[in-house]
Amino acid sequence: MNRRGKVEFADLEARLGYRFRDPDLAMLALTHLSAQVAGGRSYQRLEFLGDRVLGLVVADHLYRAFPRASEGELSMRLAKLVRRETCAEIAAEWDVGPHVVLGLGEARGGGRKKAAILSDVCESVIGAVFVDGGFDAACDLILRSWGDRLTDAEPARDAKTALQEWAQARALAAPRYEEAARTGPAHAPSFVMRVELPGYGPETGEASSKRAAEQAAAQAFLDRWSGA
């Protein structure tokens, strides 16, 4: 990495509030699948890890911050805080886009501004900080970066109810939810739930419970289609 690159990466570390011990790990967290060379790696494994760390930290914070909230409300808050759009917002606030390593085609296609890639990188950076500095470092990064979002006094939006009302207003059948995938060990599973409505493309949501994953899927559907 040249001197300019070092300065730029130091700026990113300053925005993160974390300095990596292993710069190769940090670079891996920023490497998209499209930039892989033969035998190389991308951020996908770190993204997988970061997603789980993020969910645990946010769930723990919500449990402590809202002692009177029901499981349903906590699930809705969690889904809102860890969904793709929120993670992409955080990555944009870190200004991580210019540091993401992309293949030529993805770079030319505006990959550094794509919400899906920014969201993935947000989680991969969290995973990298967890591996590099441990749980406390990752927890500090998440709590600092999510900030006021974690203690929003407004109740989380019930995306499933909102989607049902949206469908009813258009004389559509009720949204149908089904399990699309399940990963992780039995004691800490991760669920991917899919929601479908006639005439619209399906959307998915992932969380540590089916209820939260359904909320995330419903919110993803509303984000994509409610303004159409």
Q: Where are the domains of the chain?
A: 3-151, 159-225
How do 190-196 and 203-207 pair as beta strands? antiparallel
Angle, in degrees to the nearest 10, between helices 3-16 and 84-94: 130
Spell out the residues 6+ positions from residue 96 whose beta carbon is closer than 8 angstroms to its own.
12, 30, 118, 121, 122, 125
Strand order across the beta sheet in which 176-183 lies = 176-183, 190-196, 203-207
Please give the pLDDT value at position 3.
43
Q: Tens digit of pLDDT per residue, the chain (228 long)?
A: 444 444 477 889 999 999 999 999 999 999 988 876 545 688 899 999 999 999 999 999 999 999 988 777 787 788 889 988 899 999 999 999 889 888 777 777 777 888 888 999 999 999 999 999 999 999 999 999 999 999 875 655 678 888 998 999 888 999 999 999 998 887 778 899 999 999 999 999 988 888 888 988 998 898 888 765
Residue spans of beta strands (DSSP E) within the chain: 176-183, 190-196, 203-207
The domain 3-151 is placed in CATH, from the list 3.40.50.1100, 1.10.10.10, 1.10.1520.10, 3.40.50.12780, at 1.10.1520.10
Please give the pLDDT value at position 157.
63
pTM exceeds cut of 0.75: no
Please give the pLDDT value at position 36.
64
Q: What's the rounded Cα separation, in Å, for the pair 43 and 166?
A: 37
Q: What is the DSSP letter of 194?
A: E
Please give the pLDDT value at position 75.
79
Please give the pLDDT value at position 5.
46
For the record, the structure tokens of 64 come out as 């402590």
Residues marked active site are found at 51, 123
For the record, the structure tokens of 44 come out as 């996908």
CATH architecture of 159-225: 2-Layer Sandwich (3.30)
Q: What is the DSSP letter of 195?
A: E
Please give the pLDDT value at position 113.
84
